[in-house]
Amino acid sequence: MKNFILFLFAMIAATVSLNAQNPPPDPPEFPMGDIQYDVCLGTFTDSQGSDLNYLPGETLTTTICSPFPTDRSFVNFTAFDLAPGDVLLAYDGDSANAPFIGAYGSFLAPSLIEASLSNTSGCLTFVFTSNAVSQTAAGWEATIGCIDSCQTIESQVTVTPAPSVDGVVRICQGDTVTVNGTPVFPSAGTPTEEIQLPDGSVISGNSATQTIQDPGVYIFDYIVTDPLTGCRDRTIEDVVVLVSTTPDFTGTEADSEIVCFGDQVDITAMVETQQFAAQIAPPVSGATFLPDSAGSIYTTPITVNGFNPGQTFNAATDLQSVYINMEHSFMGDLDIILRAPNGVEVFLMEYPNGGGATWLGEAIDVTPVTNAPGVGYTYTFTEVGAGTQTLAQAGQALPGAVPVPEGDYLPEDPFADFIGSDLNGDWEIVVIDNLSLDNGWVFEWGLNFNPNIIPPNDRTYEPQEVTTTWLPNPDIVSTSTDGTVITVAPSVVGQNCYDLEFSDDFGCTYFETVCVEMVEEIITATPADIEVCASLGNTNVNLNPQGTIALNNLAVLDYRIRYYTDRTEAENGAATNITNTSSYPVTADTEIFIRVENARSGCFEIESFMIDFSDIVANPVADLTECDAFPFDDSDGFDLTQEESTLLGPNLDPTTVDILYYLSASAAQAGVPGTEISNPTNYDSTSDEIFVRVQDSANPGCFDTTSFNLIVTPLAPTTAVADVEECDTFPFDLTTDFDLGVNEGLILNGRDANNFTFQYYTSEADALANAGEIPVNYEGDDMEQIFVVLTETATGCAEVYTFNLTTLDAPPIGVAPDLSECDEAPFDLRLEFDLSQQDDAIRGGLSPTDYSVGYYTSESNAFNDVDQLPTNYEAADGEIIYAALTDLSTGCVNVSSFSITVEECEVIFPEGFTPNNDGINDTFEIPNIQQYANFSLKVFNRYGTMVYETSASNYVEFDGVPNSGLNSGDGLLPVGTYFYTMEFNDGQTQDIASWLYINY
């Protein structure tokens, strides 16, 4: 049976992780099992806890004691349910040999059971047996407690450094902790003071100091004991110390460890705090010698205590693997055994195994000189890994003195043999050397349990980051916003180091240094350009001398030279480099990029040079023909360059060649500077042969020649065209404006006007001399002679034409009288007039067949026949009308004018009317009254009573029927005299009051 003491660290951890708003954790459960629990707080349950039924076929013994020897334990059952035939026995002591308390089952449920005063151990023991075949039940739950018979002993503990607000001391690795205790007795006495250290050892006194190097949870217990009664204070964990874990700086590195001269590099800080978790099965490490003797045994335990109390091995997969790192020079004589806490053994490899002299690891065989360790291999025994054979089977297939490869192997016995064993306790590895003449070493071994069966580990913590900072360094050129990435420009050739500082909430500081190497500057030289001329024959180029120049006396063996035609590919070191460097064919201008690369660092420089390729071909061009132009002297200015695109063709770039013109073939061949024609774009010449030299601008020695002729065509005689006629205009003096361009279509005779220009002169001499040009809109005299020069824009060729100007007389025009009419509704001083009534006056006796008349609002419109008015025209008062008389035979026009008058007419009030519906004078009609916009008419009988009323806004002529007064709408008024008022309401016209007579 194993003992289990409930430590208080779980409660402390809960204090660390819970805030005041969280409820306290439930008391821990202690299930039935072959185990002893030393606890004063918790719930005692059947083997499957409070949620499941217990298992059939169980026979288990559990002892419950207090951690304090002066206490008496008690168990108070709060729920109890056993199936018939299953029984729970209770004993008053620390074993089933103690006095019997009682038997409980479906027939009787227990309640409060406590250790008796005569029970010196203070413990209770329970034995549970369940039927192997019958139905099980829910089991039980019982509260565990302790009866303290001692006086209260308290202690006051101080610790340096001081704890955090949660009561936990957090320190850095290598820090020193000092614990001081003071006892507090309710009555006088001389206590015994001791301090239990984290390693379990106990020292006398009330003060202890320890320097702690490694991360972990360290518990100090200040023990105050009354020597007379054996009673002690009830605080088991007075000081809990957590030691900071070393953060993981993996990933804190530069983008490149080697930096080229003058370059920058990014360095990224990547720090992760590390969680500390007490290992459930910490490995056993450290080299242990397996001596050379028959029957020697190596054994060492791993104490497992992280599983729940009473938790057992239930399936083969509960143990994932067992590994051992070792070397041995004769595997054939070894037993390797794993022993469980309940004593069950599983052979991982069993003697004899047929492995013979095959090695495990890289062994150093027995010699009289040394027993030095060899190189250990890790052999993993697993039923869930990649192994398909046992270690012995693998060794049988190998010759002697050859090591079995490390890896996964099957155990000889199944892990299922461990089912039923407690998981907590000592697991032991046993290695037995059964024969002499060999030895070996065990370096480490360990267990890996299935993570799914491992309970949550309360003894875990993880420091938190406070700051991560790169320390100042003049090489740092920039820092990322979050401070994790720095860009550095190393300042010296060689190692340049940069320090990262990390601090955690334990107050601990850690440093990581990242170094980069900046290599020496690569100083290259720029090769000169190479000229290649196709006319010389060979166009293959040897690039290697250019690389030698670029290398600039650097050590040839330390550098690689590669050639490219693309700078980006050269910078990237692409595999597209030129391979035929000694004879590289060139067919066009080519820029070559040389990559000079340090073979160790990969740093490089790029140099470049041009291969200027010249393939000069002067293509034949047509002769140049020019018409004789001003001053028409049988010579002309030629643009010798106008055929240069044909001369060069599609393959020559005009920006890379020179084109020179000469008067002889020999001069063109020699190409002596200064002998060429100096003004080729305007060369004034009679008919000549011109010789052209096309040469490479960069390499004038590459050239070709050709020639063409200059031909001048003389001016043709002057040609007469139709005269131009225009009508005489005011003041009718036979001088008028002529559009000289009316003959241009006739002169062009179908040719495109966009290709020609026209110029006009008053004499042939001026035309030939290009002097005294007149505008195309020209004020000329009757019978004046005009000369026209037509010039082809592209060639300058000209033709001369002539015609006369004729001025035609304007027709005589009569004077029409002004027109005047009275205004009518809507009385806006506008009225429609029949303008044709003026036609005869305008013609003045001329025939309408030969002369037409039109009317306009302006003199300009009249002369130009723009916007002619209709015959019936609504004119405004004071408007001037212009009449145009046109001679239909010549189109000549004369213009005269007359005015329009629209008058306001008199309003006439009749003295009576006869409303008898005979269609004559049936209403009181007032002509022209509508010209007053706001008038008001009222009619009264002889008694002064108003009988009718109307106004401009709703005017209705008075028809003898009243619309006001007592008789309104009753029929005609009686014959008689009536009186009326007319108010004009315009602020100008005097109102009227008068009479009228109605008769039938």
- The per-residue pLDDT for range 123-168, each reduced to its tens digit, is 999 999 999 887 899 999 999 999 988 878 888 999 999 999 989 9
Spell out the residues 6+ positions from residue 816 whose beta carbon is closer than 8 angstroms to its own. 838, 841, 842, 883, 896, 898
Computed from CA positions of residues 837, 839, 842, 847, in that sequence, does the dihedral angle turn out positive or negative?
A: negative
| Distance separating alpha carbons of residues 541 and 523, to the nearest angstrom | 25
DSSP 451: G
pLDDT band at 11 (very low <50, low <70, confident <90, very high): very low
Taking the CB of residue 206, how many other CB atoms lie within 10 A of it? 18
% of the chain at pLDDT higher than 70 = 93
Q: Which of 242-251, 324-333, 661-670 has the lowest mean pLDDT?
A: 324-333
pLDDT at 200 over 80: no
pLDDT at 20 over 60: no
74 and 56 in a single domain? The answer is yes
Grouping H, G, I as helix, E, B as strand and the rest as coil, residue 521 is coil
pLDDT band at 456 (very low <50, low <70, confident <90, very high): low
pLDDT band at 468 (very low <50, low <70, confident <90, very high): very high
DSSP 253: E
Q: Which stretches within 33-160 are classed as H helix?
A: none
Please state the rounded mean pLDDT for residues 973-992. 91
Count of residues in the chain: 1000
Grouping H, G, I as helix, E, B as strand and the rest as coil, residue 675 is coil
525 domain residue, yes or no: no
Contact 606, 567 (CB under 8 A): yes
At 408-422, the pLDDT tens digits run: 999 999 999 999 888
Please state the rounded mean pLDDT for residues 729-736. 76
Please state the rounded mean pLDDT for residues 916-930. 89
Backbone torsions φ then ψ of 318, nearest 5 degrees:
-60, -30
Boundaries of domain holding 495? 246-277+462-519
Q: Which of 8-17, 142-151, 246-255, 534-543 has the lowest mean pLDDT?
A: 8-17
What is the number of domains present in the chain?
Answer: 9
What is the β-pairing status of strands 35-38 and 2-5?
A: parallel
DSSP letters spanning 474-485: TTEEEE-TTS-E
Of 713, 741, 769, the domain-final residue? 713
Per-residue pLDDT, 319: 92
Please state the rounded mean pLDDT for residues 394-401. 80
Contact 272, 248 (CB under 8 A): yes
| Distance separating alpha carbons of residues 21 and 11, to the nearest angstrom | 16
Please state the rounded mean pLDDT for residues 493-519. 96
304 and 271 in a single domain? The answer is no
| Token pair belonging to 174 | 């290598």
Contact 461, 445 (CB under 8 A): no
Dihedral Cα 399, 404, 410, 415, nearest 10 deg: 120
Please state the rounded mean pLDDT for residues 440-448. 87
Question: Mean pLDDT of all residues in the chain?
Answer: 87
pLDDT at 292 over 70: no
Residue 594, classified by CB atoms within 10 Å of its CB into exposed (0-12), middle (13-18) or buried (19+), is buried
737 and 857 in a single domain? The answer is no
User: Which has the higher per-residue pLDDT, 198 or 464?
Assistant: 464
pLDDT at 10 over 50: no
| Token pair belonging to 416 | 């299922």
539 and 684 in a single domain? The answer is no
- Choose the most confident range, by mean pLDDT, from 75-79, 328-332, 537-541: 75-79
| Distance separating alpha carbons of residues 580 and 585, to the nearest angstrom | 9
DSSP letters spanning 377-441: EEEEE-SSSS--SBHHHHHHTS-TT-EEPPEEEB-SS-GGGGTTSBSSEEEEEEEEE-SSS--EE
Spell out the residues 6+ positions from residue 678 whose beta carbon is closer than 8 angstroms to its own. none
At 574-607, the pLDDT tens digits run: 999 999 999 999 988 899 999 999 999 999 999 9
| Distance separating alpha carbons of residues 796 and 618, to the nearest angstrom | 27
524 domain residue, yes or no: no
Of 218, 243, 268, the domain-final residue? 243
* CA angle at 889 for the pair 883 and 891, rounded to the nearest 5°: 45
222 and 109 in a single domain? The answer is no
pLDDT band at 22 (very low <50, low <70, confident <90, very high): very low
Per-residue pLDDT, 630: 58
Please state the rounded mean pLDDT for residues 47-62. 91
DSSP letters spanning 172-219: -TTEEEEEEEEEE-SS----EEEEE-TTS-EEESSEEEEEE-S-EEEE
pLDDT band at 726 (very low <50, low <70, confident <90, very high): confident
% of the chain at pLDDT higher than 90 = 51
435 domain residue, yes or no: yes
421 and 308 in a single domain? The answer is yes
Contact 298, 290 (CB under 8 A): yes
User: Which has the higher per-residue pLDDT, 396 or 708?
Assistant: 708
796 domain residue, yes or no: yes
End-to-end CA distance of the chain: 151
pLDDT band at 993 (very low <50, low <70, confident <90, very high): very high
pLDDT at 623 over 90: no
865 and 976 in a single domain? The answer is no
283 and 271 in a single domain? The answer is no
Backbone torsions φ then ψ of 329, nearest 5 degrees:
-90, 0
Please state the rounded mean pLDDT for residues 193-204. 88
Per-residue pLDDT, 729: 76
Per-residue pLDDT, 620: 92
pLDDT at 681 over 60: yes
Taking the CB of residue 977, how many other CB atoms lie within 10 A of it? 12
Q: What is the pTM of this model?
A: 0.51
396 and 410 in a single domain? The answer is yes
754 and 606 in a single domain? The answer is no
At 80-90, the pLDDT tens digits run: 999 999 999 99
| Distance separating alpha carbons of residues 194 and 206, to the nearest angstrom | 6
138 and 198 in a single domain? The answer is no
Grouping H, G, I as helix, E, B as strand and the rest as coil, residue 645 is helix
Contact 721, 711 (CB under 8 A): no
Per-residue pLDDT, 386: 83
152 domain residue, yes or no: no
Amino acid found at 355: G
Contact 811, 854 (CB under 8 A): no
864 domain residue, yes or no: yes
Residue 737: give its domain's CATH number: 2.60.40
| Distance separating alpha carbons of residues 967 and 912, to the nearest angstrom | 21
377 domain residue, yes or no: yes
385 and 422 in a single domain? The answer is yes
Please state the rounded mean pLDDT for residues 807-827. 83
Q: Measure Cα distances from 128 to 59, 63, 66, 109, 650 in Å.
A: 6, 12, 21, 14, 108
Please state the rounded mean pLDDT for residues 365-378. 72
Strands (E), 278-376: 284-290, 296-304, 319-328, 334-339, 345-349, 359-360
pLDDT at 4 over 60: no
Backbone torsions φ then ψ of 619, nearest 5 degrees:
-75, 145
DSSP 988: S
pLDDT at 186 over 70: no
Taking the CB of residue 901, how many other CB atoms lie within 10 A of it? 15
At 839-854, the pLDDT tens digits run: 999 998 899 999 999 9
Please state the rounded mean pLDDT for residues 431-453. 83
Residue 176: give its domain's CATH number: 2.60.40.10
pLDDT at 979 over 80: yes
860 domain residue, yes or no: yes
Give 219-222 contacts, CB < 8 A, sequence gap 24+: 219/7, 219/9, 220/159, 220/177, 220/179, 220/195, 220/196, 221/195, 221/196, 222/155, 222/157, 222/179, 222/181, 222/193, 222/194, 222/195
Taking the CB of residue 402, how many other CB atoms lie within 10 A of it? 12
